[in-house]
Amino acid sequence: MHLVLFFIFGALCVAGALNLLLQRHPINSALSLIVVMTSLAVLYLLLGAEFLAAAQVIVYSGAIMVLFTFVIMLLNAGSEERTHGSKMAYLFGFPGVAALLGLLAFVFLSRSSSFGQAQLGEYLVTTADLSKVLFRDLLLPFEVTSVLILIAILGAVALARKEH
């Protein structure tokens, strides 16, 4: 089961990265980057790193991508054009989704045993252990970093403000 999910989300990650490079409009590229970051979060989850998966979704898929779209909108990279869909999406997208759904249905209905085993290391760090270190031992650097990020946000707003 893990192996099948790994291949599915690995392929989705590679397809999103290729789409990121091939898009002409920056907003579509940013949306493709969200697909890549979310797929990476699922891959982290498959490896048993729940904290990294949650941080990937919260920090990268959430905050960083909001920042990217804010910068793209601030720079006014281009006018939005109305289209009726891509010919490539009709040609490859719908048959690809149908084939993927058929493959998933076949795999889930025909196999009841596990597909692969992931061997983890001897020492596992739980989320509780990680949070104790982060919020007890490293509290001062954590708070200093949050103040520096707040100052950077205020500086970006001050630079982006238009003078009258």
Confidence of residue 149 (pLDDT cuts 50, 70, 90): confident
CA-to-CA dists, residue 31 to 5, 92, 161, angstroms: 22, 19, 26
pLDDT of residue 76: 65
Q: What is the pLDDT of residue 52?
A: 84
Distance CA 56, CA 98 (A): 29
pLDDT digits (tens, 9 = 90+) for 105-138: 887 777 655 555 555 566 677 778 878 888 888 8
Say what angle helices 2-22 and 94-110 make with each other, to 10 degrees.
170
Quote the pLDDT of residue 45. 87
- Fold (topology level) of 2-77+88-119: Four Helix Bundle (Hemerythrin (Met), subunit A) (1.20.120)
Q: 76 versus 149: which is more confidently predicted?
A: 149
The answer on pLDDT for 78 being more than 70 is no
* pLDDT the model gives residue 84: 67
Reported residue count of the chain is 164
- Name the percent of the chain lying above pLDDT 90: 8
Query: Which tens digits make up the pLDDT trace of 9-49?
Result: 999 999 999 988 888 888 888 888 888 999 999 999 888 88
DSSP secondary structure string, 38-71? HHHHHHHHHTT-HHHHHHIIIIIIIIIHHHHHHH
**Which residues, 6 or more positions from 104, have their beta carbon under 8 angstroms from its beta carbon?**
4, 8
pLDDT at res. 40:
92
Quote the pTM value.
0.54
As to burial, measured by CB atoms within 10 angstroms (0-12 exposed, 13-18 middle, 19+ buried), residue 36 is buried
The pLDDT value recorded for residue 46 is 87
Q: Following DSSP, what letter does each residue of 115-139 receive, concatenated?
A: -------SS---HHHHHHIIIIITH
Q: Give the pLDDT confidence score for residue 14 in this predicted structure.
A: 92
Instruction: Please give the mean pLDDT across all residues of the chain.
Output: 80
User: In the prediction, which pLDDT does 161 show?
Assistant: 74
Q: Amino acid letter at 145?
A: T
